[in-house]
Amino acid sequence: MQSQFIKTCAAIGTVGIAGSAFAGDTVRFDVNFSDVDIFYVDLATEAPANAQYVPTADGGRYFSSIGWSNVDIDVCWNAGISYSGWASEVVFDIEMSENDVTQWFIAAPFAGDDTGADAEGTCSNRQALPEVDVPLVAFTYKVDASGDVGTGLSATWNDGSGLRHSECNTADFYFVLAGAIPAGCDGATGSCGEVHPEPGCADLSCCALTCNADAGGDPFCCDSSWDSNCVALAVALCNIFQYECDAPAYANDCATSPEIMSNGVGVAFNTAGANTDGPDEVGCGSAYEDLPIWSDLWYQITLDDESTVTATCCNTADFDTKIAIYNAGAAGSTFDPSTLPEVFIACNEDCDDPDFFTSELIATSLAAGQYLVRIGGYQGATGTGDITISWEEPAPQLPDPTCDTPGGTTVSQIITADENLTISGGVWCGPTAENVLARSYPAAAFGGAFDVSCINFGWFLNEPAAYMPCIINLYKQDDANPLNVTSQELVGTTSCGLRSNDVGYTISSQSFDAPVNVDLADGEFLMVEVRYQRQLLESDAPDTGGYGGFFGVVLSDTDGAEGYISCGGDYFGSMTDIGFGDYQPYITINGDGGDPPSTCEGDFNDDGVVNGADFGSILAAWGPCAGCPEDLNGDG
């Protein structure tokens, strides 16, 4: 079973797991959990109720791994909730310091098991009994200055009930603190792949491994100097890339002599007999079964401005290919091929080619500069084909949302004042899908012809200096539920750009070029659709695993009307249908005209008065009438 190691501050962003070697003795600390309830916890603001704090008396020491065994839990489906919790949502919590910031991290012993109890009001047992060890990225996570390490169990899904998500019968958890950093590595500046007279090298992990005799290294390298033997050991133990390209078979066989490409112009190629001079690339999708890009050829492009680049030989080559792209620095600069592993950007192994499994790579938001494109084969394959590299500048960023003349009337299914809303967070569709949220308003909500001036909507971005386009559409349709619509007309559209701010969850208002007249007949609905285009999220800062989209309010903040969601496709489902009933989208309407509907439940014709006309509605509905508005006491 795979395990996940996830930063809690970025609810979907994973932290890479890598094997690591530390010099010296390690120390293991064990924790047992028994007969404890497991609740959803917002680990950004609070600790799990079942937390156990382990005193290590070793503040500042690095973690080398975490692990677990004998995990026995019951996953529950709470009464009154539409869905069961899942085993994959149960996580171990551990408090560690990264870059001198102490925070909670989580590890999932049942990752991928998206199943739970079979019936409402019941629980179902799950077990993960064998010991699982998860190595952590070397020299990254520390015990904070207090010397105490918090541990616990929590759930990543909030069903809104306030009840326990699962029950832990027993679970063993542990963490391992690494040995000390060799003295020669602390503060060393020389390259691990180059000879220098000083001891140690700048890469802490590689330095510690090279100086560790138990790992096949030599302590001399940290005690005296970093000589040629140390370089050889580092290359072997740390997989240091050293560039070589001998006897090139073609003019562009080596990364040092790439073929210069024109935008959108294809060229023929033949990789037979070419060197494999580029580094192994796990990012190509072949995983560890085939890391090299065999018999590679090289091409260079120069971008004058930020662009999206497409490099393709899809259905134009006669062998199984891979394509990768690397940042080669500023335009006109001299590129050092030994840095290829550090400047890798992206790779693609397969496009939609069932015969030869050729490739198409799309890299977005590449800054101005020069780039190397590399094409080669899978598992030693070579052959011929045509490669085309094209690039285009992205569309200009949209202006901030604005609404100068909102109108005098607000039509809303949100009944709680903005300052009193219960913000429940957002539902994220994924790294390449846009969040599409909608609310449907019946004709009675407008009381007649209505001019829509602005749409108010809630959103967030959790990545600094990020930008996300947003499109708002108005549809006139014949049913509230988008799944049941048979007739739909687009009556208005507008767009804006959302940018990171210091507010966090934000309510904005966006106007239309001109007010949109809405005059709905009886039985018609106005659907307001807000498209948060996550796949176009751009950032000027290094990628932090951030994401963006709508923010939700709890169902009790609404009049009971559900919102709808679609993740980048045509299919809409209600928030409850997908298991997120308390993540209702904040979408309201501003404008003029019409008569706001009465808030009195006996005013059936919405004229603001309860009188004989409304009594006539009751008489007309006399008899069995379950669910109708005239059934004031709800007895059917």
492 phi and psi angles, rounded to 5 deg = -170, 145
Please state which CATH class domain 259-392 belongs to. Answer: mainly beta
User: Can you tell me which residue has the tokens 């259905």?
Assistant: 315
Based on DSSP, count helices (H) and strands (E) in the chain, helices before strands: 4, 35
Are the C-beta atoms of residues 344 and 324 closer than 8 Å to each other?
yes
Mean pLDDT of successive 10-residue stretches along the chain, which has 636 residues: 26 30 70 97 92 93 93 94 90 93 94 91 96 87 94 91 95 91 89 94 89 89 96 92 94 98 97 96 73 96 93 94 96 95 90 84 90 96 97 86 94 93 73 79 91 95 79 95 90 93 87 94 93 61 56 90 82 82 92 67 66 70 70 68
Residue with tokens 């959103």: 459
Collapse the DSSP code of 76 into the 3-class scheme (helix H, G, I; strand E, B; otherwise coil) and give the result.
strand
DSSP state of 309: E
Task: Show me where the domains of the chain are located.
Answer: 4-177, 259-392, 409-593, 601-636
- 452/476 Cα distance (integer angstroms): 13
Contacts of 550 (CB under 8 A, 6+ apart): 426, 427, 435, 437, 457, 458, 459, 460, 530, 532, 585, 586
Q: List beta partners, residue 180.
A: none
Q: Is 479 exposed, middle or buried (0-12, 13-18, 19+ CB in 10 A)?
A: middle
pTM over 0.75: no
For the domain covering 4-177, report its CATH number. Answer: 2.60.120
- Phi first, then psi, for residue 6 (nearest 5°) are -125, 135
Give the pLDDT score at 10.
Answer: 26
Nearest-angstrom CA–CA distance, 242 and 254: 14
pLDDT digits (tens, 9 = 90+) for 569-584: 667 888 888 778 888 9
Q: Are 98 and 9 in contact (CB under 8 A)?
A: no
The reported pLDDT for the residue numbered 592 is: 94
Amino acid at site 342: E
Residue of 240, 242, 220 whose CA lies nearest to 230: 220
CATH, range 409-593: 2.60.120
Whether the domain at 4-177 and the domain at 259-392 fall into the same CATH topology: yes
